[in-house]
Structure 1
Amino acid sequence: MPDAAPHPMTPQDCLVALMIAVSASDENMRTAELVKIESAVNMLPIFSDYDIDRMRVITDLVFDLFEQEDGLDALFGLLRDNLPERLNETAYALACDVAAADGTLREEELRLLEEIRYELDIDRLHAAAIERGARARHLRA
């Protein structure tokens, strides 16, 4: 596949892949989730030098992985190999924001967030604070 993401992935690629994975986890990428991902990439300092065209390549990579039996494990392997540990909480915060973006946390999203917490070794207290912040940011009137 000529458009495959070159290895290694950048830390920003890893963050985008994780956000896409959360959005796709329930097999229905909602508009609010996609807007949240695009907004994060356009606004957050971590993405200041990110090539926005990479998003399509990374999205295709995540979809290709999700079609494989052990695709989620492969995604976590890519994260372990290419995401600096100092960005683990950032990654989890972005994942929580995408999951909360449409106002509903579905079972698949909750399971994936649990796996992300485990894989990224997010401390329980820190995870609770990150989750509470995402919930507060996405409340509706």
Structure 2
Amino acid sequence: MVTNTQGSSARQNSTQQVHYLRFAVNYNDSGIANGIGKQWLPKGAIITGTSVYVGTAFNAATTNVLTVGTNSTAYDNIVGTADVDESAAVPLTNGIKPSGAALGPLAADAQVFVKYAQTGTAATAGAAVVVVHYVPNNDL
């Protein structure tokens, strides 16, 4: 049974288990250059790692940078700028460690954002799936 923290959009199961957020990212998602809010992590959660599956390579001519985070505007404290090779379709990049405030436990509910920055000739392709693994604070 899924329950919500009162006043929160973050999902939590009532049993002791690892939770996850899963969301798709495309090179041409509206607002992707500035960051798009995806899902929420609950207060007290500890991120245990993140996985990124690049199904279609991002193909901007010079640089392709996919980041994920809760830190305003940079959005890079869950998946940093050098954590994934966006320019190649790779089976899966596992075990990406968070940094900064995302090291947890989270001080408050936190929305997770994804951002794609590119330079050179604009991308015409690119798709990924991001999975953030976390453990909520259910020891209360």
Which structure: greater helix fraction? 1
Whose Rg is larger? Answer: 2
**After TM superposition, is the score higher than 0.5?**
no
Structure with bigger strand share is 2
TM, length-normalised to structure 2: 0.26
